[in-house]
Amino acid sequence: MFGKNNSNNLKLLPQAKGQYLPNEPLSKHTWFGVGGPAEVMYYPADNQDLSWFIKNKPYNLPIFLIGSGSNLLVRDGGIPGVVIKLNSKFYRKWSLHNNTITCGAGMKNSELKKIMLSNNLGGLEFLVSIPGSLGGAVRTNAGCFGKELKDVLIGATIIDGNGSEIDVSANDFNLGYRNSFFPEDWIITALTLKVFPQPSQETLRILDEHKNYRLKCQPINAKTAGSTFKNPNGLRAWELIKKTGSDKLKVGGAVVSDIHCNFLINTGKATALDIESLGEEIIRNVKSATTITLEWEIKRVGVKK
C-alpha cells in the first residue's frame, strides 16, 4: 500500500505513543499459525493514542483490527496497510459495578475465569470457554452452550472512523447468529457485560463441565480456528460434512479434524491457501450433494500469494 521502502512507510504515519512494527508476521498472531505479514502492525498505547492515529493517518489508509486471531484466516500475501492490535495493559483493564463488569477489548475471554471466581460471579462461563478476545467476540456474536454475547452485552466504548470516542448500546451492534452489523470503521475498545452473584464453587463446576466437553469433542490442542462453517438454519454443519464424505478430505498440510469435522487443522505444514482450498472443496461437495451452501464462520482476510 505504501511502497517497498518500509522506513519511508513509517514516516507517513502519525507519531504515536504506541508501537509500529513493519512487516510483522501475522502467522504469530493467529491460531492457525499461517498467513503473510502485516505491512505495518500498530499497538496503540490507549484510546487517546488510537484516536490521534485515526485522526492523523494518511487518507484512505487500509486499516484492519485483529484480536487474538482465534477465528481468523490470514492469506499468504498478508494484509496491506496497518493492522491494529489492542494489546497494551490499557486494553486489559477491568472494573466491577452493580451486576456488571467493564473490560478492555484486548482482554482474553479466558482471563474472565479468575475474575469470576475471585469475585463470586456467574453469567459469563460460556465466554470463558471460547478462544479469543472480548472485542472479537462482538464482531461474531460469539456463543456456545446455549448462550451468545448478545445475551450479556449491555454496551461498549468505541473509536469511530473520525477518531471520536463514543459509548454505544448493545442494540447498536445488531447482533445475530454468528454475525453483527455495525460500521466497519468502529473499533471496540471496552465492553460492559451482565454478571450476577454466584458462589465460586458453582461457577467452577460450570467451567469444568464446559472444559471437559471441549476436551472430549473438539480438537482444542491443534492449530485450528474453531468452527469453520456456520450451522445452516435447522441443520448442523458437521453432519452435512460427514454425510458427504468431506470429513476425510485433505489439501496439502490442511486436514479435517477426526474429532470434529467442522474444524480444519493445520498439521504444521499448511499454507493459508491449503486451508482455504480445503474449506472451499467442502462447500462444493456439500452443495453438490444437498444443494445447501455452507457459509464460512471463520473470517478470511488478506491477499492471496
Using 50, 70 and 90 to split pLDDT, how confident is the model at 140? confident
Q: What is the DSSP-derived secondary structure letter of residue 45?
A: S
Residue 224 included in any domain: no
Indicate whether 80 and 98 sit together in one domain.
no
Residue 226 included in any domain: no
- What positions carry a catalytic annotation? 178, 227, 297
| Mean pLDDT value across residues 127-146 | 90
Indicate whether 25 and 64 sit together in one domain.
yes
> Could you tell me the pTM of the whole model?
0.92
Domain that holds residue 40: 6-85
Q: What is the CATH number of the domain that holds 174?
A: 3.30.465.10
Indicate whether 206 and 256 sit together in one domain.
no
Select from 34, 53, 85 the last residue of a domain.
85
Domain count, the chain: 3
Spell out where the chain has E strands.
Answer: 19-25, 37-43, 63-66, 72-74, 79-85, 94-97, 100-104, 121-122, 143-144, 147-148, 153-159, 165-169, 187-194, 196-197, 250-251, 254-256, 264-266, 299-301
Select from 53, 85, 117 the last residue of a domain.
85
81 pLDDT higher than 60: yes
296 pLDDT higher than 70: yes
4 pLDDT higher than 80: no
